Amino acid sequence: MLFFVVLTVLAASANAKFYRDCGSAEATVQNVEVSGCAEDAKECILKRNTNATFSIEFTPISNVKEVQTIVHGVIMNLPVPFPLPQPDACKDNNLTCPLQAGKPVKYHTTMPILKSYPKVRVDVKWELKDENSEDLVCILIPARLQ
């Protein structure tokens, strides 16, 4: 019995997407795309001195007035806040606010991967929060800076 459970879990993880949901409570996430990251990749390679693009397709459960982007780099379980030049996701990120309940949208952003970043394994924790600071989207992207 346990053997079959293990097999099923293994089979499921073999088909898994590269990202993990870490509590998208106020929306359902349809898809995540990161430049240079295949859908079935174990980790995304973020090349330093390039611009990485991130897209997240999601559908809010209720109407949303404001959306804020919060990014952390989690290195050895320690989340380090990652300052963004434009944390307001309603500006320059392909979202037209307010967002409507049940209407799919596609958040799109570009992030410079600076040459000064260390070459480390990092889990990129990407959150989009609504005006009540609730997570619309919370995803974890395993990555390696190169």
Ligand X SMILES: *[C@@H]1O[C@H](CO)[C@@H](O)[C@H](O)[C@H]1NC(C)=O
Positions in the binding site for ligand X (CB under 6 A): 49-51, 55, 94, 105-106, 108, 112
Closest contact distance (angstroms) between CB of 128 and ligand X is: 14
Q: With b meaning 16 or more CB within 10 Å and e meaning fewer, what string describes 113-139?
A: beeeeeeeebbbbbbbbbeeeebbbbb
Q: Please, what is the minimum distance in Å from the beta carbon of residue 55 to ligand X?
A: 5
**Rounded Cα gap, residues 78 and 119, in angstroms:** 16
- Residue with smaller CB distance to ligand X, 46 or 123: 46
Count of CA atoms in the C-beta half-sphere (13 A) of 105: 26
| Alpha-carbon span 62 to 8, nearest angstrom | 34
**Which is closer to ligand X, CB of 79 or CB of 87?**
87
Q: How many CA atoms, within 13 angstroms, populate the side-chain half-sphere of residue 67?
A: 30
Nearer to ligand X among residue 87 and residue 112 (C-beta): 112
Rounded to the nearest whole angstrom, what is the least distance from the CB of residue 52 to ligand X in the complex? 10
Hey, which residues does 74 pair with through a beta bridge? 79, 123
Question: In the complex with ligand X, which residue's Cβ is closer, 51 or 63?
Answer: 51
Q: What is the number of the residue whose Cβ is closest to ligand X?
A: 108
Q: Is 104 exposed, middle or buried (0-12, 13-18, 19+ CB in 10 A)?
A: middle
Q: Which is nearer to ligand X, 55 or 74 (CB)?
A: 55
CB of 49 to ligand X, least distance (A): 5
Q: How far is the CB of 89 from ligand X (least distance, A)?
A: 13
